[in-house]
Amino acid sequence: MYESYWQKKGDETTVVIPGWQFMSYFSDATRLCWFLEPEFAKQIVRLHNVVGNAVTENRHIVVGTGSTQLFQAALYALSPCAEAEPISVVSAAPYYSSYPLITDCLKSRLYKWAGDARSFSKNGPYIELVTSPNNPDGFARRSVVNGSEGILIHDLAYYWPQYTPISSRANYDLMLFTVSKSTGHAGMRIGWALVKDEDVARKMTKYIEINTIGVSKDSQVRAAKVLKVISDNIEGPNEGDSFFEFSYRVMAKRWKQLREAVQQSGLFSVSDFPPQLCMFLNRVFEPQPAFAWIKCEGDIEDCESFLRGKKILTRGGKHFGVSPKYVRISMLDRDKNYETFVRRLSTIRS
């Protein structure tokens, strides 16, 4: 979906890397996160300040091979070492379907997936994942467990103005971001964490050292360039041509098409979101999430199978810890695929 914007920008975001550059494991040996490219760190801080979506002051930046790796680094860093039992990891359903898979992949004795945060009532320490806006349903979220020993990880992959009004600068202890959702460059496998506590940032860095001995320099260099072009264009004379204006407009158009298709069909429903003022775009709008979270109304129990029969590929609610009457569909596919999807959806009758 974002491809056409970057095509239009032409050579502005092209990177050129000679064969003898970025050969070392190290980016800056004096930094806590020694494999973080300084220019990328600079552009991360700059973009957050330009957009106003996260506090960067007094934060350590840890770069990861996507935010997926950073999530694991956070689990490693936040798990108590001395405990006999693994710490519980929870998130309110519907939650990102990969969280349980990632958490339990290696059957760690440090942590284990404990399901829906809303039904979690165990005493003692726990880790709660707060994804806001949420994947899959797009709602803004806060922590829901009412325990005194909770440690929070905020996954803010979708807290960008094309998806949701930026109402304030997020100011949490551990925040995760990724280029795949902010700029569309999933193939780079680049994410970053803003971490308040130095010891936690150090342990996260240690995990990434053990797991992959750092993060691709080439992709960090390219990500730095992409972030720089976004900030340059926002601060430049053609503000209306900025990346977030472009992507906001595409998302607005797609959500309009989706709601029309849902109405035409009559078999499905999607949530309404309360409109809010976006401090960055300086306008009031309803969230327009990166995923559509669709409910099959009426008798259809297995919405994923039903839609597969109509040649629409989705992921069913069960993966997200809720009823199979729900499905998740990406709103970020290429134009042609998206058009096909809404056309097919709109013509489904009972």
Residue linked to tokens 């260099």: 221
Burial 111-129 (b: 16+ CB within 10 A, else e): bbbbbebeebeeeebbbbb
Residue 118's nearest CA partner among 149, 95, 151, 87 is 95
Closest CB 23 distance from a second copy, rounded Å: 5
Nearer to a second copy, 143 or 231 (CB): 231
**Adjacent-strand bridge partners of 290:** none
Contacts 24+ apart (CB under 8 A), 331-338: 331/251, 331/254, 331/255, 331/258, 331/288, 331/289, 331/290, 331/291, 331/292, 332/1, 332/2, 332/184, 332/290, 333/1, 334/1, 334/3, 335/1, 335/4, 338/1, 338/254, 338/257
Retrieve residue 225's tokens.
Answer: 């360039």
Nearer to a second copy, 4 or 347 (CB): 4
Nearer to a second copy, 68 or 264 (CB): 68
Closest CB 324 distance from a second copy, rounded Å: 23
Nearer to a second copy, 17 or 277 (CB): 17
Quickly list DSSP for 37-74.
-HHHHHHHHHHHHHHT-B--TT-EEEEESHHHHHHHHH
Closest CB 183 distance from a second copy, rounded Å: 9
The footprint of a second copy (CB under 8 A) covers: 2-4, 6-7, 9-20, 22-25, 27, 65-66, 68-69, 72, 76, 98, 101-102, 105-110, 180, 184-190, 207, 210-219, 222, 225-226, 229
CA torsion angle for 263, 269, 274, 280 (degrees, to 10)?
-80
**Adjacent-strand bridge partners of 270:** 294
Nearer to a second copy, 4 or 263 (CB): 4
Nearer to a second copy, 98 or 347 (CB): 98
Closest CB 27 distance from a second copy, rounded Å: 8
Closest CB 111 distance from a second copy, rounded Å: 8
Closest CB 238 distance from a second copy, rounded Å: 17
**Adjacent-strand bridge partners of 268:** 296
Nearer to a second copy, 217 or 295 (CB): 217
Residue 296's nearest CA partner among 310, 306, 309 is 306
**Adjacent-strand bridge partners of 193:** 62, 176
Retrieve residue 29's tokens.
Answer: 């040996």
Closest CB 296 distance from a second copy, rounded Å: 27
Check: CB of residue 122 under 8 Å from CB of residue 145.
no
Nearer to a second copy, 192 or 268 (CB): 192
Nearer to a second copy, 224 or 345 (CB): 224
**Separation of alpha carbons 48 and 42, rounded Å:** 10
Closest CB 193 distance from a second copy, rounded Å: 14
Closest CB 135 distance from a second copy, rounded Å: 14
